Structure 1
Amino acid sequence: MWKTALKPRWIAGFIFAIALSGVFVLLSQWQFGRSTQPEVPVNPATEQVQPLTTTLQPGEFFHGSVADQMVTAQGTYSPDKQVLVPGRLHDGKTGYWVVSAFAVKDAPALAGAGASPQTWIPVARGWVAEPGDAAAPPSGLVELTGRLLPSEAPVAGKAPKAGEASAVSVAELINYWEVSSYPGFVSATAEVVGGQDVSASAVPGNLLPLDIGPQPPAQHINWLNLFYSIEWVVFAGFALFIWWRLVKDDYHRDLEEALDDADDDGHDEQHQLPQQAKQHQQPDQHQQKVQP
């Protein structure tokens, strides 16, 4: 079998089958990559800064369409309404998010028992390595710019320490601060006071910026592309199978031709033996006839 496979034409065929299989494998990888790609790209409209008061309303459900939207608002921070959220990573280091309550100017006030005169929104102002690195928020009228994000879920079964919160959860924070709040929070990118940006991204110090970008949509498996990727792998194996099958057929043809040649040689020998026997017998018969 190997002798047949080492014929020049089958060596060339094997090289062609390997090359063809490689192309099929590359096509399989491409289809597999497409099967897990987000079908909807990141919306560039979220990067256009919109007023917070027109983007989201307090007391309403947080709509997914406004998630990751860059917003701006004017208001003031309360120095006594600030918490730390532990277990947050920044450049591979674990630390704290500094979250402060921001009273939004011109925001509609909520009605009902327990509602505060002003409407607030939690603002994740930055990251610190140690609790002592968290300074008070800027005072005065602040023009806030940042990314609007949905409220996180509180961590169940975990009692935070004093001055800390388990997550940036609106439900948890309004109980600490006893204020009315928007159903989301803002990751600050700029905090302008008196025409000067005093945010973590503009002022060097222990408070580091979060730099939270737009989140890509959840990936969904495209089953059709996944099926195609498997199909290309089957084609790659089939190309090698075809080469092996052709070599095997050629090998069997060689065996049949060898058997046919052996049969022909055997028939020739059997035909020659009677002829030789006759030639040996004829002289004896002649001699018998001429004896007196």
Structure 2
Amino acid sequence: MVLKTAFKPRWILSLVGALLVATGFVLLSQWQFNRSATEAPPPVTTTEKPVPLTSHLKPTEVLMANQADQMVTATGRFLDGKQILVNNRLEDGRLGYWVVAAFKVDGAPDGNTIPVVRGWQPDETTPAPAPSGELTLTGRLLPTEAPVSRDPGKASFDSLSVAELINVWDVPSYSGFLVAGPVTGADGADHSAAASGLDQVTVGPQPQERQINWLNVFYGIEWVVFAGFAVFLWYRLVADDYRREQEDIADAAAIAAGLDPAAVYRDEVLLEAAHAESFQGAQPAAPTGQPGPTDPSNDISQNKDQK
């Protein structure tokens, strides 16, 4: 029996190894399935309620997906001479520029700043300077964009990359940026985009549905197939070992009976071939008056019909 062969010590150890490999493949499959669906963003009831920036995110932390899209408040002041334009920005279907300035946050360690999108303008003209003095603003916290290679002679930037702005402004910064909404001074004066001659940039909350990455799903299924193949390969090796044992037993019996094992094997092959030939030759008899399947008249009648 194959089961008896499977209980040999070497095949038991091989089975343990195959199960370990299969377990590894299943874990990889689970990892791929877990990565196939992105986490849904925080609910709107959470993100639309402003919280202090200093308590929501620390400058040394990477802005995670569950922290982004949050409305936050910050108090501080804009730094003089640290303002740029970011091109190819749509606002109400129009293509233009974001006006981005460095905002030093009160209460942030080491005097950290955060880039703030003050507003939008249609052309590349130099925008009005950022308002001075102590300011309090409310805005949406968004993750940094990837840096894009830029022509040094170009006035505007192609992306809002915090890492790039740290080098341009030579100041420490948070890992994200703010899209400003209401901005008020210490005296309550309005310093928002409209008061500065800019258009207000509107960024709504993220969609709440989860996204599926089908490539990760296919990878997960692939790892499951590999796990099954590892166990199947072990079974085939055991079956082959069992078949070799049976052949050795048959050869030993033939030698004990004074027979040549090769001749016995040849006779068995010839016997099987004869059985197959006799089975193929056994055809059912054709009904009386009708040509059989091998009757030449059948072919003649078919040829006449075709003509």
**Same fold by TM (over 0.5)?**
yes
Residue ranges of structure 2 left out of the alignment (5+ in a row): 1-38, 215-307
Structure 2 Cα separation of the partners of residues 40 and 153 of structure 1? 21
- Residue-by-residue CA offset, 1:159-198 (whole Å, 9 max, x unaligned): 3545422211100100100000000000000110121221
List aligned pairs for 1:102-251, cutoff 5 A.
102-109=103-110, 118-132=111-125, 134-155=127-148, 157-159=149-151, 161-193=153-185, 194-201=187-194, 203=195, 206-217=197-208, 219-220=210-211
Aligned to 1:80: 81
How many Å separate the matches in 2 of 1:220 and 1:87? 26
Q: Which residue of 1 aligns with 2:59?
A: 58
Q: Shift of residue 207 of structure 1?
A: 0.6
The whole-number CA distance in structure 1 between the counterparts of 2:70 and 2:42 is 15
**Residue 133 of structure 1: CA displacement?**
5.7
Identical-residue share of aligned pairs (%):
47
Q: Which runs of 5+ in 1 are unaligned?
A: 1-37, 110-117, 224-292
Aligned to 1:89: 90
Partner Cα distance (1:83, 1:150) in 2: 18
Decide whether aligned partners of structure 1 residues 94 and 49 sit closer, same or farther in structure 2, where only a CA change above 3 A counts. same
Q: CA shift at 1:131, angstroms?
A: 2.3
Give the RMSD, CA atoms, in angstroms.
Answer: 2.4
Measure, in 2, the Cα distance between the counterparts of 1:200 and 1:55: 24
1:88–1:52 distance in 2 versus 1, CA, 3 Å? same
* Aligned residue number for residue 47 of structure 1: 48
Distance 2:105 2:42 in 1: 32
Matched residue, 2:254: none
Q: Structure 1, residues 230-256: CA drift from partner, whole Å, max 9, x if none?
A: xxxxxxxxxxxxxxxxxxxxxxxxxxx
* CA radius of gyration, larger in: 1
TM-score for both structures, normalised by structure 1: 0.56
Whether the 8 Å CA contact 2:41–2:66 is kept in 1: the answer is no
The aligned amino acid for 2:75 is Q
Corresponding residue SS for 1:166: coil
Change over 3 Å in CA distance of 1:92–1:105 after alignment to 2:
same
**CA 1:221/1:206 → structure 2, altered by over 3 Å: closer, same or farther?**
same
Give the Cα–Cα distance (whole angstroms) in 1 for the partners of residues 80 and 121 of structure 2. Answer: 17
Q: In 2, Cα distance between the equivalents of 1:67 and 1:49?
A: 12
Amino acid at match of 1:97: W
Give the whole-Å Cα distance in 2 for the aligned partners of 1:102 and 1:197: 17
User: So what's the TM-score if we normalise by structure 2?
Assistant: 0.53
Q: Which letter does structure 2 place at the counterpart of 1:185? A: F
Which residue of the partner structure matches residue 72 of structure 2? 71
One-letter amino acid of the counterpart of residue 52, structure 1: L
The residue aligned with 2:299 is none
CA distance in structure 1 between the aligned counterparts of 2:118 and 2:89, rounded to whole angstroms: 13
Structure 1 residues 121 and 221, CA gap change in structure 2 (3 angstroms)? closer
Distance in 1 between the 2:127 and 2:133 partners?
Answer: 18
Once residues 153 and 96 of structure 2 are traced to their aligned partners in structure 1, the CA distance between those partners, rounded to angstroms, is 15
The one-letter code matched in structure 2 to 1:209 is Q
Taking the aligned partners of 2:173 and 2:183, their CA distance within structure 1 comes to 20
Query: What code does the residue aligned with 2:129 have?
Result: A
Q: 1:83 to 1:94 in 2, by over 3 A?
A: same
Deviation of 1:217 (Å)? 4.2
Shift of 1:148: 0.5
Partner deviation per Cα, 1:131-156 (whole Å, 9 max, x = no partner): 2261111000010110011111112x
SS in structure 2 at match of 1:86:
strand
Query: Which position in structure 2 is the counterpart of 1:98?
Result: 99
CA contact under 8 A between 1:42 and 1:216: conserved in structure 2?
no
